Chains A and B, each alone.
Chain A
């Protein structure tokens, strides 16, 4: 096909091309690589999918993004063709019906799409999991997450202030893609814990609120080290029945490894300790009247109450009034230890880990892990 067979715009020079993309509303606010047919064909050839393969179908608005359209946006994001298998796998993951993408893509909560990458592809494409892994400096990290954002913008129409109704959003919405620092993990790689083989590559996606730095420098025993993590997780600002991602700094990971703590034991400890009395939630306006009417939120709030959710009170102000016994009802973050995903990442020095809460005040969306094609 000749170039002019494709829908697009004709421009005279590279700068005009960059400006034309801004003028069309095709960017995230940063300049994009102007997508010519030759570049898009090279991008597509970097992955195993035919041009018309649907990589993302969003069922609420019935939008289907093909590999061709994904490749256009991936060129624009600044990716190299060898990144395309990771972008494609991430699109397939966020398109999993269980992920219900319409919510995190449009909600006032302003979720970022987190992509954690495991396996050999990390080294092959230079995806970074060491120092400053969430920050600037590495092309694969900066552009793979950006490709997802551009697909949401251009493919699904998630324009800020229009379909994307984020109250504030956050910087992770530009790009939030990083490698697990597998060598720094005390345990098997994240994707292996989720059923894949170490020799496979994989993406794990999550709809994330902005991360919290968990700064602990003077603790080495797990029961001391993890207090700060559990406290961040139990913060009223983000407390919900949703899931959590913990990215362990290598220094923190070493303390857990030395003490012989398993991933499951760490998850259990965090789940048990990331909790607040129901009375605190009520005092902070975190319990809405409607929560007491639906089984999901009522079940979460009263899971540890004597008698369980069936004993939840009713009445016009039962959600807001602190009742006798509310101090003793513990409300945990999430529904079980399995809701806490732990991986390793960061530089060798520093007691700085991260906690990312799920988007939304409800249950939110699950973690989805998917193989990256070799």
Chain B
């Protein structure tokens, strides 16, 4: 009997982050739109926002487009979204 080692990270516990509390309603709230930076991300999100706005009475939108689709959200943008928004929708659009 020979043991061959698992080459994946399955056995490595992922770093956990707390899930954000779910808002019970979006009426009057600011909704964040986070586009990942590909060509049509914000075009797509604008349409999503149009639907959500009508359905949930969203008061305001905060739009953030990442400068680089392959990089994480810059911490200052993430902090701004957390501070201003009740919920954030993110998308890729190419």
Contacts and interface: CB of A to CB of B under 8 A. Distances in A.
A101 B79 CA distance: 24
B14 A35 contact: no
B82 interface: no
B71 A34 contact: no
Contacts, number: 89
A305 to B, nearest CB: 21
Contacts of A63: 9
Interface string A1-35: 00110111111100001001100101000000011
Interface residues of B, number: 23
Say whether chain A's binding surface is mostly helix, strand, loop, or mixed: mixed
Say whether chain B's binding surface is mostly helix, strand, loop, or mixed: loop
A60 B5 contact: no
Nearest to B67: A296
Interface residues of A, number: 44
Contacts of B94: 108
A255 B70 CA distance: 40
A43 B67 CA distance: 39
Contacts of B14: 62
B40 A34 contact: no
Contacts of A35: 4-5, 7
B69 to A, nearest CB: 6
A155 B6 CA distance: 10
Contacts of A365: 70
11 contacts: A3-B2, A10-B1, A12-B2, A17-B4, A26-B7, A34-B4, A59-B72, A73-B7, A100-B70, A103-B69, A154-B7
Interface of B: 1-12, 14-15, 39-40, 43, 68-72, 94
Given A9-B4, A76-B7, A365-B70, 8 more contacts: A10-B1, A10-B2, A10-B3, A12-B2, A20-B4, A21-B4, A100-B71, A290-B43
